[in-house]
Structure 1
């Protein structure tokens, strides 16, 4: 198989979402190094974006990957972020969990929370996770309703009105991108509005964002970086990005994607 044909097949696989290097080596019968070289070539032409362990389709500000595609990306980092976030959840509290794959991992971590909890979410995938069960405490889950996006977020006027009548002790917020100038963004206009309403009705905002979200800018913003009272990310974030975030968010917590203690950076 020629390199041109191999790269054509990689692009064809990307039409279904993210691809993994390990899967491509098996599918195409070539070495890991060959696939990585192919990905570098395709990225240089703007046809894809390399991520840890694979690649995703080249993003525009309006591109909205589906939940399944996003759930394959940056799993160790997302898991570490979610597990640390779970330690911030107190029994008898009312928490909001926005849509997203990292927030979904947080919901899974809360299966071991002693409870009781009240969970407000605009994510159909989060709502499907049984929470606060292991310790015997019950979790009351309030699903906002609304129109479902490709990323499994429920958005729009129905969601906004539901959230607008509630008051959250702490909001755990997933984001599509974070940027020093653009702030927190999403490719979906309606989701931006729903996220904005969630933020307005929370006493504390905790943003969960792995390092690949830095310098990613979606179509619509829903707040400056300063809206984050706490931001939890992973240790692959560059030193420059850490300085930017440390200056703008209330508290920056950096977790190791390989496990271990988290580092807190107060701004």
Structure 2
């Protein structure tokens, strides 16, 4: 009989290693589906070096999180409906790029500004940079930003109410839109699901309406996008990219996909990762 030795008596190290491997595998599957549109179970099994049964279990988990749609023989991206609507998935995807983009965007804010921050796993990363400024007021409908700002003694917080959407962890609806119509902001930090040509898109209509209200209320309007959002569409059109004064992307963005943005007269800022 062969003895099996775990790295710790209760197997915690082993379980942690398996958990990391699974998280890496799920991210690789999600990225592959996003880039290819469809990918087969056999291809995933070969590329990941795991059994088809393991792939099926992973696809079930990602479908439950609404990251993809499981179909016969593989999985496809639900770009036009709920794809990437789950906050936990969005928060962990392209994290280094999002932090770089947010850091570069935050340089557009100044002491004394009123700043609107939209619901986005990218825009939430501007908060630490804003906390280094003085007399900044943050207006937001995004619960994670509310929680972050509340922990920063140097920042003032105005929360936008409305109907709470748990998938996006954001407040939406008429009350939120009406509150924005009574406010003026110096800077808006917003993101969206997709930029195709010179048009900005998002998959969830109530979020679109709130973004449009934020745009109307703000002088400097900054759109934050990591490179995975470029060259693709979603169900609802937010508006032309010219509604924004700046677009901030990471340095993996395709210059050809940024050409329509520059042609629209919008300043493009490329953040090094």
Asked whether 1:179 is paired with 2:196, we answer yes
After TM superposition, give the deviation of residue 131 of structure 1 in Å: 6.7
2 CA distance for matches of 1:15 and 1:66?
A: 11
Give the corresponding residue for 1:54.
none
Q: Give per-residue Cα distances to partners, 1:24-76, cap 9 Å, x unaligned.
A: xxxxxxxxxxxxxxxxxx99x6614xxxxxxxxx2231215221110010001
Asked whether 1:163 is paired with 2:180, we answer yes
Give the corresponding residue for 2:254.
238
2 CA distance for matches of 1:220 and 1:104?
A: 23
Give the corresponding residue for 2:26.
none
Structure 1 window deviating more from structure 2 (98-107 vs 59-68): it is: 59-68
Give the corresponding residue for 2:75.
47
Give the corresponding residue for 2:78.
59
Structure richer in helix, relative to its length? 2
Asked whether 1:4 is paired with 2:52, we answer yes
| Structure 1 residues 116-127: aligned runs within 5 Å | 116-127=135-146
Pick from 115, 119, 122 the counterpart of residue 95 of structure 1. 115
2 CA distance for matches of 1:235 and 1:157?
A: 37
1 CA distance for matches of 2:168 and 2:236?
A: 15
Give the corresponding residue for 2:244.
228
1 CA distance for matches of 2:239 and 2:56?
A: 39
1 CA distance for matches of 2:90 and 2:50?
A: 30
Give the corresponding residue for 1:52.
none
2 CA distance for matches of 1:18 and 1:72?
A: 14
RMSD (Å) for aligned C-alpha atoms: 2.5
The count of residues paired between Structure 1 and Structure 2 equals: 221
When normalised by structure 2's length, the TM-score is 0.74
2 CA distance for matches of 1:66 and 1:231?
A: 24
Moved runs in structure 1, 4+ residues, more than 6 A? none
1 CA distance for matches of 2:65 and 2:260?
A: 31
- CA distance 1:220–1:18, change in 2 (3 Å): closer
Aligned with 1:101: secondary structure?
coil
- Is the 8 Å Cα contact of residues 224 and 248 (structure 2) preserved in structure 1? yes
2 CA distance for matches of 1:201 and 1:69?
A: 29
Q: Give per-residue Cα distances to partners, 1:148-184, cap 9 Å, x unaligned.
A: 2211221110000100000111111111111116x11
1 CA distance for matches of 2:151 and 2:239?
A: 30
Asked whether 1:79 is paired with 2:99, we answer yes
Give the corresponding residue for 2:225.
209
2 CA distance for matches of 1:46 and 1:167?
A: 48
Structure 1 window deviating more from structure 2 (148-157 vs 223-232): it is: 148-157
Asked whether 1:15 is paired with 2:63, we answer yes
Aligned with 1:129: secondary structure?
helix
- Is the 8 Å Cα contact of residues 18 and 70 (structure 1) preserved in structure 2? no
Give the corresponding residue for 2:133.
114
